Structure 1
Amino acid sequence: MSKAELLGAIAGLNRGILASPGDRKRVAALTTDVEALNPTPDPLAATDKLAGDWRLIYTSSQALLALDRSPIVKLGHIYQCIRPQQQRIYNIAEIYGVPLLEGVISVLARFEPLTQQRLQVYFERSIVGFRQWLNYYSPSQFIPQLQSRRPLLALDVPLNDNEQQGWLDITYLDDDLRIARGNEGSLFILSRV
């Protein structure tokens, strides 16, 4: 089994939204095979590979995929932007649907390395707003706004990071693909932007 086979298997699944139970089983098996070939056994030490903006190309997270089930809005691209030097993660989901009501849902978190593969993630803020009010064009352009702590024209809710936390295992990392598994059993496959 190879990385190319895994990418081929998820290509038509719209990040997992269109995955049947058979598709999910096949992707799970292919993912396990690819993880066994992980070229970066200590991904948290490989900050040059880990850092950057990653686009979600597949997930088994039903909570995340549920964002697409609304009849009014649909889920656009989902990004996870990692800044290892600051120990920060920015999760950004683009929402579209009704014209001029395109939105962004962002969750900001800090992390602590627990092992060579595992991050403890503490969720600190949730921001929901319209793209035009936030002047949002891309994750790399938006993150400096989030880092500045200036007030945003959005719903900006502080989260209790003692209660809102989880872990993430990075099980595969190369120059353009990252596979991770979360504490709720979810699988995340991301490609570098």
Structure 2
Amino acid sequence: MAMGADVSSKADVKSDLLSQIDLESSAAKRIEVNELILKLEPLNPTDAPAQSTQLNGVWEFLYTGGISPGMLAIQMISKIARNFAAIVDLKSVTLTIRRDQPRVEAAVTASLLGREGTVKVRTRLRAESDARLTETYEEAEIAGMTIPIPAALQLKRTLFITYLDDDIVIARDNSGSPDLLVRKAKDFSNNVGVPSYTDSDLSPGSG
């Protein structure tokens, strides 16, 4: 009976959360969203979520409690191409997590000087514990041109996976601000075969 109640409760909280969530939420709505996130996190069904192959796939940001992931990507590119952020109007952000490094690709749909295009940033993802990941920004792609990010300019940040299931993932940064992503598609193409014995073996989905 208790297990059934937990499943029902989780489904109800997820439904309420997804119905209210919006990247442009008002301050009052964001308070409600954060309360629902706090209710959902203790119901996390996935053991060792930072090391789970469930992370692999294509995700779309629905909500961010801190700095926009798209703006974070643009800020990284701006360190290479001066004034880049000033001429970009962000539209949407999707995140693809694969088996091989650099494991993460953030694709930012943006309007650049009046023309819509996609800016990509690729990062290395390393599992440090069952719940903690380290993400290091390595390269960007603008108009099909790949631009390596110099080591001195590479941003590194810590993420804590507090909830993961087949549909959504909740991650918090060092400040505790939550990001919520909803799955667009699973990615199985890079999850087959014998894993390599490299740094990628310490990252989600490597085995």
Given the two structures, how large is their TM-score scaled by the length of structure 1?
A: 0.72
The aligned residue for residue 140 of structure 1 is none
CA distance in 2, matches of 1:61, 1:21: 13
User: What letter corresponds to residue 117 of structure 2 in structure 1?
Assistant: G
Structure 1 unaligned residues grouped into runs of 5+: 135-151
| 1:77 correspondence with 2:88 | no
State the shift of 1:64 in Å: 4.0
Residue among 5, 8, 13 paired with 2:16: 5
Please tell me the residue identity of whatever aligns with 2:18: L
2:139 corresponds to: 125
Q: Deviations over 1:69-122 (max 9, x none)?
A: x997542221111114546111111113766x1122221111211110111111
The equivalent position to 1:53 in structure 2, one of 58, 63, 77, is 58
Q: Sort the Cα spacing of 1:65 and 1:19 in 2 relative to 1 into closer, same or farther, 3 A.
A: farther
Query: Displacement of 1:177 after TM fit?
Result: 0.8
The structure with the largest alpha-carbon Rg is: 2
* Equivalent-residue separation in structure 2 for 1:161 and 1:38 (angstroms): 37
Fraction of identical pairs, as percent: 31
- Aligned with 1:91 (options 106, 130, 133): 106
Per the alignment, in what secondary structure is the counterpart of residue 185 of structure 1? coil
* Residues 134, 159 of structure 2: 8 Å contact kept: yes
Q: Does 1:62 align with 2:67?
A: yes
Q: CA deviation at 1:63?
A: 4.5
Q: Work out the number of aligned pairs and report it.
A: 161
Aligned CA distance change for structure 1 residues 160 and 20 (closer, same or farther; 3 Å): same
| Helix, strand or coil at the partner of 2:61 | strand
Question: Is it true that 1:168 corresponds to 2:159 in the alignment?
Answer: yes
Q: Give runs of ≥4 in structure 1 deviating > 6 Å.
A: none
Structure 2 partner of 1:23: 29
> Which residue pairs with 1:143 in the alignment?
none
Q: CA deviation at 1:182?
A: 1.6
Check conservation: 1:55, 1:80, Cα contact below 8 A.
Answer: yes
Q: Secondary structure at the match of 1:27?
A: helix
CA-to-aligned-CA distance 1:138-183 (integer Å, 9 cap, x gap): xxxxxxxxxxxxxx2x6x2424278510011111111111111122
Preserved contact between residue 91 and residue 108 of structure 1 (Cα < 8 Å): yes
User: Shift in Å at residue 189 of structure 1?
Assistant: 0.7
Residues 98 and 161 from structure 1, CA distance in 2 versus in 1: closer, same or farther, beyond 3 angstroms? closer
State the distance in 1 between where 2:86 and 2:102 align.
37
Q: Give how far 1:55 is off.
A: 0.7
Contact 2:135 2:157 in 1 (8 A): yes
RMSD over aligned CA atoms reads 2.6
